Amino acid sequence: MDSHIDEIKKKIKYITWSFYCFKNKGDDIRFAFNTWQLFIRPLLDYTFIATAFCKDTKESVPKLYRNSLRNIIGFKKNSDIELINSLIQYNYNLMPAIAVSALSKKWEAYKDYPENEFREEINTKVKFPYIKLEMRGIPHKMISTYNILTTNNWCKECTTNEKKVRLSLHHVATGHNIDVERNIKTTIQLAKEAYSLFQDIKKEMSTYDTYKRKICKQDKCNLINKINNIKEYWIKVYNIIVSMIWE
């Protein structure tokens, strides 16, 4: 299993560097995250399910989830684990147990009815509790701001010859009233709500009722404007934080 994980690491590294020049495409992480979702996550899911039948290597795969997403969307290595997990959108640690349980039921159903390939137990997909996010609502500037505040920078406004003050998440929250951690959580929560609203609008847009379609178009425009306001907010915060760096 170790050799298989080593090969997966090589593939992830190759994919990450292949799309490196495109990862900052646009002003949000939608392209970078979709790249991870499409090319990297399936490799990790199948690998993690296989570890259910192994004694070792069960801790190395969760790290691959976090590190691969960090690298492709631009977070630093020391970024908070809970923050990365919230962007992954599902508890991947439950993947082996849920998958093995579902596959066992499928196998038992197939053994009992080998000639009936259309039984529900055989063809049912593995159901997993996903928490979808609208990635258009997660701007690059939010990540850049977080990275600056988790690096060894000094605050220009508070640093003196006698005392150096580190420009950190805690310092800007207590000293400058900019609670970046709370605002990141709020942004992710809004991205969750935006995804749900976009799905509702999409369903309503499929109707032939002209009035409903008109209302849905207006709702969609309002939601996009809200997302753009979030992006503008993080641009302002980023510029403020950059101006506070002591050189």
**Domain range holding 157?**
136-243
- Find all residues with CB under 8 Å of 216, minimum gap 6, and list them: 201, 204, 205
pLDDT at residue 160, as a whole number = 82
Let me know whether 65 and 145 are in one domain.
Answer: no
Q: Determine, yes or no, domain membership for 131.
A: no
**What total number of domains does the chain contain?**
2
Q: Determine, yes or no, domain membership for 25.
A: yes
Name the domain boundary from 39, 74, 109: 74
Let me know whether 53 and 152 are in one domain.
Answer: no
- Lookup: tokens for 83: 């923050």
Name the domain boundary from 49, 74, 99: 74
pTM value?
Answer: 0.82
For the chain, residues with pLDDT lower than 50 are: none
Let me know whether 149 and 66 are in one domain.
Answer: no
Mean pLDDT score across all residues of the chain: 82
Q: Determine, yes or no, domain membership for 100.
A: no
pLDDT at residue 96, as a whole number = 76
